[in-house]
Amino acid sequence: MKSRPKIALIGAGSIVFARNLLGDILSYPELADCEIALHDIDEHRLRLAEKVAHRIAGVLNVKPAITATTDRRKALDGARFAINMIQVGGYRPATVTDFEIPKKFGLEQTIGDTLGIGGIMRALRTIPVQLDMLRDMEELCADGAVHLNYVNPMAMITWALNRVATRVPTVGLCHSVQHTASELADDLGIPVEEIDYHCAGINHMAFYLKFERNGEDLIPRLKEIQRQQRMPDWNRVRYEMLAQLGYFPTESSEHFSEYVPWFIKTGREELLKKYNIPLDEYPGRCQIFEHAWPYIERELENPGSQDSSALIAELAAADIRVMQHQRESAARLLDGLHTVKRSVEYGSSIIHSIVTGTPRVVYGNVLNHHLIDNLPHGCAVEVPCLVDANGVQPTRIGALPPQLAALMRSNVNVQELVVEAVLTQNREHVYHAAMMDPHTAAVLDLEQIRAMVDELLRAHADYLPAYLHA
């Protein structure tokens, strides 16, 4: 490995996320002089990302080598780490299509990026692109290279890429475990630093197997919050799952509601109201960023020129249907464009541990090779991983509580069929995946499912390989 490790950010035009990751990486003294290679297919967004990278380096008074290129192979050439944050097809047209066509059939979604018909379609667009990228990595990257993937659907991508990888492992990274721990700490009135937790499962459906402070089990206190209905309104689904299953899930309520058949049902508006489930939440978030992007771009070009209060007023006038904290986050984003504050993302700490040998435990998505006994061998699981100079080393969990494993398997079934559809180029497995999806099957019959899949495949043809064309 070169003394100055090269870190490639693929999809660096995701400016906000790239900013967070760059701030995290360059805050480590041992990484302050690393080589940063920014890549995006959108040259305009790429140049803005380059400005952000130089600005962060200036704020931290460090001197990394920063390059920006639309040539993916050039970005990956010699890279020790590749951080992936692409979105194939973007919000328009791809995500809009993922929501609007199912809605015609009576199938409503909240986020649509992990499971469900939206997650299936996103995987079909994304995995082939990432497989091409993986081939480039295996040809061009440095010895011992690691692919850190932040792209959803996390489990399907992690599963597919690691099935075919020969020398570059993919570790899927998410922030749901650490974010949820902070949220629960707030509910309990306890500093999150005082909480000791242990978590395992699959991405966006892992559960806290232990949640303690100084040896005290905090789960009974969380159950009491549920019994007294004192949970935040936006978190009612997950507290219901705690009551029903005895364990608290890691992913947000709006996400979780579409992984199961119980919460979003045609003609059952009272369920949406009872559990405060925001339909079309992800398109709403994207609309916020459509409004926010001109402010962000002007602020990046001319620091100090933009007022977040004007953005807040514009968002209020637009009446975008999202949870209030999403509007507030857009304003915080604008105000924080020029600050460097460490995020909770694991990417930089993994890189630092591998480069310096500093041991850490993170939660990563890896293949289930004798890690969780009652989930299928070889599927993608999210477990604690020890990271040091030897790389990312997952830890064995054993058997999960049977009710949790049973619920996860309902999602793993869908993931497996999508991975098989892509790796064997078998279009029929796309229909099978949609048929097995818990939420889709709870709403649509078989004829509707096939018709919906056909229409989606036609609509996404420009982003899909030929064998998937309807």
Peptide bond into 294 cis (omega under 30): no
What is the distance between the alpha carbons of residues 26 and 23, in angstroms, rounded to a whole number?
Answer: 5
**Cβ neighbours around 300 below 10 Å, total:** 20
Q: Which long-range contacts (CB under 8 A, 24 or more apart) does 268-272 make?
A: none
Query: Residue 301: which of 52, 108, 57 has the closest Cα?
Result: 52
Burial 195-206 (b: 16+ CB within 10 A, else e): bebebbbbbbbb
H/E/C letters for each residue in the chain? CCCCCEEEEECCCCHHHHHHHHHHHHCCHHHCCCEEEEECCCHHHHHHHHHHHHHHHHHHCCCCEEEEECCHHHHHCCCCEEEECCCCCHHHHHHHHHHHHHHHCCCCCCCCCCCHHHHHHHHHHHHHHHHHHHHHHHHHCCCCCEEEECCCCHHHHHHHHHHHCCCCCEEECCCHHHHHHHHHHHHHCCCHHHCEEEEEEECCEEEEEEEEECCEECHHHHHHHHHCCCCCHHHHHHHHHHHHHCCCECCCHHHHCCCCCCCCCCCCHHHHHHHCCCCCHHHHHHHHHHHHHHHHHHHHHCCCCCCHHHHHHHHHHHCCCCCHHHHHHHHHHHHCCCCCCCCCCCHHHHHHHHHHCCCEEEEEEEECCCCECCCCCCCEEEEEEEEECCEEEECCCECCCHHHHHHHHHHHHHHHHHHHHHHCCCCHHHHHHHHHCHHHHHHCCHHHHHHHHHHHHHHCHHHCCHHHCC
Catalytic pick from 54, 175, 179, 338? 175
Q: How far is CA 159 from CA 97, 156, 171, 297, 392, in A?
A: 25, 5, 10, 36, 16
Question: Is residue 175 annotated as part of the catalytic site, yes or no?
Answer: yes
| Catalytic positions, written as ranges | 175
